[in-house]
């Protein structure tokens, strides 16, 4: 199993803290039932972190009209909404909720150029809630295709997420082979499409980042 680079920023510190904690418990309690219970829980916790930061090394490709899923997860919103931050007009919103069990890598969904990006501090409401799109900590990125079509991607932190990481920035030329970023521990991604987009997913559908076709334009 390949570990994503974000994991190497977190796992060593967790592993070190668990070793110190378990050694301390052993020194005070010896080989007691309590010590073995704590040791078992520590092994489970560090194993979960290795699994959470897994990188499945997805092979990605898309047709000229296709917009791919940014992340693994479940479709929780498909509706026309007014998008106030960048477009200032009605767009089709498709939102994918990532539970703590999903791969949390965020992928670039189309080939183009990043023409806008803005980070917003905010709350940490449950990411599946509709108001999290405008109130939670988030980062908005807009990618423009060669034909001028623009897609807005919004990475949103959830109730457990405390860090949104974005690797690509304004002015970068991007493709579907690139990673947009990573969100730690539960989150959501909103996509905003032109009204003429043909949405290819349905409510509650499970998506795979960099694989599932969300829409065609």
CATH code for the domain in which residue 96 is found: 2.70.70.10
Does 176 reside within a domain? yes
Domain region containing 167:
66-216
Domain assignment of residue 57, yes or no: no
* Position 123 in a domain: yes
How much of the chain is helix, strand and coil, in % rounded to 5? 20, 35, 40
Note whether residue 1 is domain-resident.
no
Q: Is 144 exposed, middle or buried (0-12, 13-18, 19+ CB in 10 A)?
A: middle
How far is C-alpha 51 from the geometric centre of its chain's CA atoms? 15
On whether both 175 and 85 belong to a single domain, the answer is yes
Nearest to 139 by CA among 182, 178, 185: 182
Alpha-carbon radius of gyration of the chain: 20
Cα first-last separation, the chain: 35
Query: What Cα–Cα distance (Å) separates residue 201 from each residue in 54, 204, 205, 213?
Result: 25, 9, 7, 8
Q: Is 61 a catalytic residue?
A: no
Q: How many structural domains is the chain composed of?
A: 2
> Residue 84 falls within a domain, yes or no?
yes
Q: Is residue 124 part of a domain?
A: yes
34 lies in the same domain as 133:
no
Task: Let me know whether 37 and 81 are in one domain.
Answer: no
Residues 43 and 117 in one domain: no
Instruction: Give the integer Cα–Cα distance in Å for 199 and 10.
Output: 37
pLDDT tens-place values along the chain, 217 residues long: 788 888 888 899 999 999 999 999 889 888 888 889 999 999 999 998 888 888 887 777 777 889 999 999 999 999 999 999 999 999 999 999 988 888 888 999 999 999 999 998 866 555 455 544 556 788 999 999 999 999 999 998 866 555 788 999 999 999 998 999 988 766 889 999 999 999 999 999 999 999 999 999 9
Q: Both 109 and 205 in a single domain?
A: yes
**Shared domain check, 211 and 109:** yes
| One domain, residues 70 and 160 | yes
Same domain, 30 and 98: no
Q: Which of 42, 95, 133, 187 is catalytic?
A: 187
* Residues 122 and 32 grouped into a single domain: no
pTM score, whole prediction:
0.83
Q: Is residue 61, in this structure, part of any structural domain at all?
A: no
- Is residue 170 assigned to a domain? yes
Tell me: do 94 and 38 sit in the same domain: no
Same domain, 157 and 205: yes
């Amino acid at each position: 199993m390949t570990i994503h680079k974000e994991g190497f920023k977190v796992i060593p510190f967790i592993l070190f803290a668990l070793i110190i904690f378990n050694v301390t418990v052993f020194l005070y309690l010896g080989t007691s039932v309590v010590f073995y219970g704590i040791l078992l829980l520590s092994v489970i916790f560090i194993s979960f972190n290795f699994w959470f930061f897994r990188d499945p090394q997805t092979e990605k490709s898309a047709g000229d009209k296709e917009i791919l899923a940014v992340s693994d997860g479940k479709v929780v919103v498909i509706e026309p909404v007014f998008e106030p931050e960048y477009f200032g007009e009605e767009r089709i919103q498709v939102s994918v909720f990532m539970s703590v069990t999903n791969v949390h890598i965020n992928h670039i969904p189309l080939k183009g150029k990043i023409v806008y990006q803005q980070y917003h501090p905010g709350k940490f409401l449950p990411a599946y809630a509709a108001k999290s799109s405008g109130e939670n900590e988030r980062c908005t990125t807009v990618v423009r295709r060669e034909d001028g079509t623009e897609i807005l991607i919004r990475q949103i932190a959830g109730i457990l997420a405390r860090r949104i990481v974005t690797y690509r920035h304004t002015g970068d030329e991007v493709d579907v082979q690139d990673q947009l970023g990573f969100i730690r521990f539960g989150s959501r991604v909103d996509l905003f499409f032109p009204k003429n987009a043909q949405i290819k997913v349905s409510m509650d559908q499970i998506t795979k980042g960099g694989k599932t076709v969300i829409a065609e334009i």
